[in-house]
Amino acid sequence: MRLIVLIILSCSLYTLKAQTVKEVRDAIKKVVEDEDLKNASISFYAYDLDSNRIISGISSSRSLVPASTMKLITTATALEMMGSGKRFSTTIKYSGEIDTNCVLNGNIYIVGGGDPALGSHRYGRHYGDFLGKWATAILNLGIDSINGRVIGDASIFSEQMIPPTWIWGDLGNYYGAGPCGLSIYENRCTLSLISGKKGDSTYISCVKPYIPNLEFDNYVKGMITNKDQSYIYGAPYQEERIIKGGIPVNQEEFDVDGSIPDPSYLAAFELDMKLREIGVKLSNPSSTLRKIKAKGIEFPKEKRRIVTTTRSPSLSSLISATNMHSINLYAEHLMNQIGVYKYRHGATGSGTTATYQFWKEKGLDVDGFYVNDGSGLSRFNGVTAKQLVGILKIMYESKNYKVFLKSLPVAGKSGTLINVGKGTAAKGRVMAKSGTMTRVKSYAGYVKTKSKKNVAFAIIANNYNCSAREMRKKMEKVMIKLAEINE
């Protein structure tokens, strides 16, 4: 009798397990068969990292545009290549000699090291008054006049700041800011607009930080809306920009964020102003190596001496910010840094080539693996759900796993997943990166199931016919089922 009971219990447990996994498969099947996805492409893969078995897969080798889940690939590559403690330096140097009259007969250089976070509001405590520190360090050399200028040197990265496959409509907006070898304030400026009635013109009251020579043709109107529906158009180094669209009516100060045209020049200008503020005289206005070379002026090879150095937060901290808040600029900086590390060339193409080769050498099946930027803003990227899970599996087995895992938003609790899975088994159990673009939605990351098993998953959908919010809800159901696995 006892044997019969044990057999019945065993069968019941087996049925429960089978049903649990089956529910995951049913959930993804329901998404695929949804009327809103009749024109869509979808790729899904879920893998039990502890038992090394496939939980479910549908079109798992179909290469699709991943949007911001691309940041998982970039941050994982940077972490594995350079290590969690890596920091990037910005160095103040001077050329020439300081004479007995306290005059520097030479130039001050701000030599960028590709730090994405210099002056960022996210790291206010880390950097402090970095401009003041730089100016004071120069003054402490016994300099009270400079017979030269402040020059921004961003040459660690390519002058072509924007990945070549980005679209024009993104470039002038804050999320389309390109990586510069000498970035500052996350290469973001804020326009304050005043609006009146519906259809009325708006007025730009202020731009912060102040950017010399920057002008806007403003075509923004007051609109019945509760959010920013304006767009800024402008390329790197372009000082005349256009802003169109709409903002809510009757606003006395409505902020719109754009990209800084020339971050290296702004950094040089800011230090120039700070030096003048503390009484140091300068003979010439600030500039950059790019601007000076564009005038046909060749710099003689001259010795530069270090004044002071400012180091970035650790790579682990930068990666956490990148994934938690989906910061495109940071991801593009990391992609360029991968290029510097591997090929001593800080350009998007160098970084993407190095990234592709890195994962190929790790044994990833790279058929359909197309890397064209670091952030996922490019629609030329192509990744399969199986490849994303393959990278997540390699990271799970890496010494950097804890750092990588900690960088990911947690469902219902943090980052871009704060509104996902609330009040469900997914809350606190799903740690993943989301991706959203027009007609693109994706999630990829880890799930700690109810039975404490570790699962890696990825789901990507392109060209669905519903809103991004509705698509999120459909995918959320799959993530909940993964979290409910109780094997």
339-376 tens-digit pLDDT? 999 999 999 999 999 999 999 999 999 999 999 999 99
Q: What is the mean pLDDT of residues 391-400?
A: 98
Band of residue 261 on the pLDDT scale cut at 50, 70, 90 = very high
Q: At which residue do the structure tokens 């998953």 appear?
A: 457
CATH of the domain spanning 87-313? 3.50.80.20
Q: What is the mean pLDDT of residues 65-84?
A: 98
Band of residue 432 on the pLDDT scale cut at 50, 70, 90 = very high
Q: What is the mean pLDDT of residues 190-197?
A: 97
Specify whether domain 23-84+316-483 bears CATH 3.40.50.300.
Answer: no
Query: Tell me, what's the pLDDT at 3?
Result: 40
Above 90 in pLDDT, residue 213?
Answer: yes
Same fold, 23-84+316-483 and 87-313: no
The domain spans of the chain are: 23-84+316-483, 87-313
Q: Collapse the DSSP code of 268 into the 3-class scheme (helix H, G, I; strand E, B; otherwise coil) and give the result.
A: helix
Q: What is the mean pLDDT of residues 389-401?
A: 98
Band of residue 16 on the pLDDT scale cut at 50, 70, 90 = very low
Rg of the chain's alpha carbons, rounded to an integer?
26
- The angle at the Cα of 308, spanning 306 to 313, to the nearest 5 degrees, equals 125
Band of residue 201 on the pLDDT scale cut at 50, 70, 90 = very high
CA 354 – CA 348 distance, rounded (Å): 10
Written as six digits, the tokens of 289 are 């190596």
Query: Tell me, what's the pLDDT at 1?
Result: 45
The structure's pTM equals 0.94
Q: Indicate the average pLDDT of the chain.
A: 94
CA 276 – CA 22 distance, rounded (Å): 70
